[in-house]
Structure 1
Amino acid sequence: MQDTKTRLLREAEVIVRAKGYSGFSYADLEAAVGIRKASIHHHFKTKENLVSALVDEYDRRYDDELSRIIAENRSAIEKIDAYGRLYVQGLQDDLGCLCAVLAIELHALPVSLTNKLSLFFDKHIAWIEAVIEDGLARGEIRPSVQAASYARMTVAALEGALLMERVLQGVVGFEATLDAIRKGLG
């Protein structure tokens, strides 16, 4: 059985990924978890504290996944493909990426959260860039690919496809975007 703080984080993540920062309130969380707002405030004094903890936990889970991808995949293209597939579950659950959903409301966020979002996206771009550079060095990726710009484009394309395909073709459309990313590398 999960402790209360873990349950709060799990339910809050679903709500924020569906409604965004401004659309989320402790009343939503109270209804989802079945505890009073005062009890929620005991664990997370402010909305900023709660969402900061959400981003930290989300980032930690992604770190685990990035490590797993490196360990389980040989080629750079396989690693990029596995990275892209991390987005599919969100699409199937009709939820956006937590950090992208928050970034949409950049001007409504406290500075502490915008800084965490920057670090999250910078880390992902740097990870993809390193994967591409390794693939270039091993001759797996066509030499004309510019690692830094392709890494930025990859994150932007995947985040955009996650958002767009929620209203268009779903997983089929997302797969087409991922396929285009893979083909652009080879």
Structure 2
Amino acid sequence: MNNNKNTAELILDTAQGLVQEVGFNGFSYAHIAEKIGIRTASIHYHFPNKEDLAEALIARYNREFVAKIAEIDSETTNNLDKIRRYMMIFSIPVDTYCTCLSVMLSSDLATLTEKVREKLAAFFTANLTWVERVLEQGRSEGHLQFKGTAQAQAHKILTSLQGAQLLARTFRDANRFNMIAEGVISALS
């Protein structure tokens, strides 16, 4: 059983890397099998079809996000620092000229099942809810300044980070992400 869990995690790790590099529709189980040296039947054992794989990827990604924001919340009370650390999560795939899983899945949205689309929307909702809460707290405590509602600002931040990933990838220039991220922080302080 433990070996199965390790194999399933290896499959998820490999699939996530492929999604972030080529999109959900840009790879098959044969690509995963080749990368990790197993048969496609082993992948089908853990994830009978690609929709099951997509659901597992999003569920894991969401769990990791929830854990990361809980870590951020526990390690700092400064809301500007929380936003900075949140933005660092988005910077991780930029160094390899990839985007985060959620951005790439959004690009393939029309071909994903309704269940996968719902899980992706729930992931974005979790992001927006957390950012909005941090913004509201920051403004009420005097750490953050911005015009408009926290809800609108949260949407601006999330879309700025997603767009920054796409530009950095397109131009193969991580500095474009950094420039946009710094602009987001400057607009809040």
List aligned pairs for 1:157-168, cutoff 5 A.
157-168=160-171
- Provide the rounded CA distance (Å) in 2 between the counterparts of 1:167 and 1:106: 20
Structure 2 residue corresponding to 1:137, chosen from 121, 135, 140: 140
Task: Give the 4+ runs in structure 1 shifted more than 4 A.
Answer: none
Residue-by-residue CA offset, 1:22-43 (whole Å, 9 max, x unaligned): 1121011110111111111111
- Provide the rounded CA distance (Å) in 1 between the counterparts of 2:172 and 2:153: 24
2:85 equivalent in structure 1: 82
2:157 equivalent in structure 1: 154
2:24 equivalent in structure 1: 21
- Provide the rounded CA distance (Å) in 2 between the counterparts of 1:65 and 1:121: 15
- Provide the rounded CA distance (Å) in 1 between the counterparts of 2:102 and 2:59: 10
Distance 1:117 1:143, change over 3 A: closer
Equivalent residues, number: 186
Partner secondary structure for residue 25 of structure 2: coil
- Provide the rounded CA distance (Å) in 1 between the counterparts of 2:74 and 2:99: 26
**Any stretches of 5+ residues in structure 2 without a counterpart?**
none
| More divergent stretch after superposition (66-75 vs 100-109) | 66-75
CA RMSD of aligned residues (A): 1.5
Checking the alignment, whether the CA contact within 8 Å between 1:91 and 1:166 is kept in structure 2 is yes
**1:181 partner letter:** V
List aligned pairs for 1:59-98, cutoff 5 A.
59-98=62-101
TM-score scaled by length of structure 1? 0.95
Sequence identity of aligned pairs in percent? Answer: 30
Checking the alignment, whether the CA contact within 8 Å between 2:82 and 2:134 is kept in structure 1 is yes
Residue-by-residue CA offset, 1:152-174 (whole Å, 9 max, x unaligned): 00000001101111232633221
Partner secondary structure for residue 99 of structure 2: coil
Structure 2 residue corresponding to 1:7, chosen from 5, 10, 13: 10
Checking the alignment, whether the CA contact within 8 Å between 1:145 and 1:185 is kept in structure 2 is no
Distance 1:157 1:143, change over 3 A: closer
**Any stretches of 5+ residues in structure 1 without a counterpart?**
none
CA shift, 1:59, in A, is: 0.9
Partner secondary structure for residue 170 of structure 2: coil
Distance 1:173 1:143, change over 3 A: closer
CA shift, 1:177, in A, is: 0.8
